[in-house]
Amino acid sequence: GPTIITMENEADLFYRQMPKVELHAHLNGSVSFSTIEKLMARKPHLNIEHNMTAILSGQKRTLDECFQVFKVIHQLIDTEEDILMVAKDVIREFAEDGVKYLELRTTPREDKNTGMTKRSYVQTVIEAIRQCKNEGLDIEVRLLVSVDRRHGVEVAMKTVKLAEDFMRSTDGFVVGLDLSGDPTVGHGGDLLPALQKAKNCGLKLSLHLSEVPSQVDESELLLNIPPDRIGHGTFLHPEVGGAQSLVDKVMKNNTPLELCLTSNVKGQTVSSYSNHHLLYWYQKGHPIVICTDDRGVFCTELSKEYQLAASTFSLSREAMWSLSQKAIDFTFAPDSLKQQLHQKWFELHPSLFQ
Ligand SMILES: CNc1ncnc2c1ncn2[C@@H]1O[C@H](COP(=O)(O)O)[C@@H](O)[C@H]1O
Ligand SMILES: [Zn+2]
């Protein structure tokens, strides 16, 4: 029959073709269903089903239940071979969605049974980035090493050392450190020495901050470092129980916020798309960047997040383009690469806005 191009299809295409920057993507949360299927075939004895690794559309979970999902995914991905396949698939899929610059983040894991060490884990992710580059994929990828706040300051210190070693030894692939993990466990303040050490040695810092309510004291301490970017910042502003002093600090330092709409709605820290704090910061003209967080777990795409933000807040395509272009300046990439990306955006603009 005839092909009917609906408005939705046309918008899908527009946001997929729009060049984009992804700055907040956890590797193991970004694994697509097709990759999960390959992993399940490798490990049939685990008896894992799809609804254990992803939160389908219309479904919601508590944040706590989201963290149970990561445990299942981690069971499926426990060898260097798995990591290589997963990282390559994730990079390829971001490229297919029109992402031109990707900062992946991941928590180094070791596995006594398979012989995987934290060092070989990071090495393997870097190998995947190299292979994708050699295959000519139209995407630049950099890596942030993640500190899981649940594991405490000693592990954090070791992770920082590992990140530092890789930053110095591997032609610029490792650019920073991420603080993540279940925000209801542990206190970010305990990790200050590790985060400070990372900052001092030249690693850029992206910190999950105020992802859940009642973390004013912790956020205050973390903002004093200060971080180079903030993940979520959902409960920073006074209207949601944060504090004006936190907002003032973020604004004084002009610290960009990484915002992940679907993640926050499906994890129920934000009650609906229209109540997302994107609007609060956007109206202030504060630097924000739209991200996916965990595109596999939350069943989304970066293009979809842009489309959702545009439709929820009635933002024009030019406004969305401008957001994606400004995000180039919030990357942890060197200036030369930022310039190349700006050039790419400049060249692609006419093809999207005739
Ligand atoms: C939903 N909001 C979130 N808040 C905090 N941390 C999160 C997160 N989503 C993911 N992670 C962090 O990323 C890990 C999975 O990827 P990697 O194994 O590191 O690649 C999770 O175990 C958690 O530590
Ligand atoms: Zn995150």
Distance 243 CA to ligand 1 centre (A): 26
| The pLDDT of residue 170 | 77
**Please, which residues have CB less than 5 A from ligand 2, an ion?**
293
| pLDDT tens for the 354 residues of the chain, in order | 566 666 668 999 999 999 999 999 999 999 999 999 999 999 999 999 888 999 988 888 999 999 999 999 999 999 999 999 999 999 999 999 999 999 999 999 999 999 999 999 999 999 999 999 999 999 999 999 999 999 999 999 999 999 999 999 978 999 999 999 999 999 999 999 999 999 999 999 999 999 999 999 999 999 999 999 999 999 999 999 999 999 999 999 999 999 999 999 999 999 999 999 999 999 999 999 999 999 999 999 999 999 999 999 999 999 999 999 999 999 999 999 999 999 999 999 999 998
Is residue 10 flagged as an active site residue? no
Of 211, 218, 258, 305, the catalytic one is: 211
CA neighbours closer than 13 Å in the CB half-sphere of residue 276: 26
- For ligand 1, atom 24: residue with the closest CA: 181
Look up residue 330 and give its amino acid: F
**Per the structure block, which two tokens stand in for 157?**
């210190």
- For ligand 1, atom 22: residue with the closest CA: 70
Beta bridge partners of 21: 101
Separation of alpha carbons 221 and 224, rounded Å: 5
Separation of alpha carbons 92 and 102, rounded Å: 11
**Per the structure block, which two tokens stand in for 344?**
């790419």
Complex ipTM value:
1.00
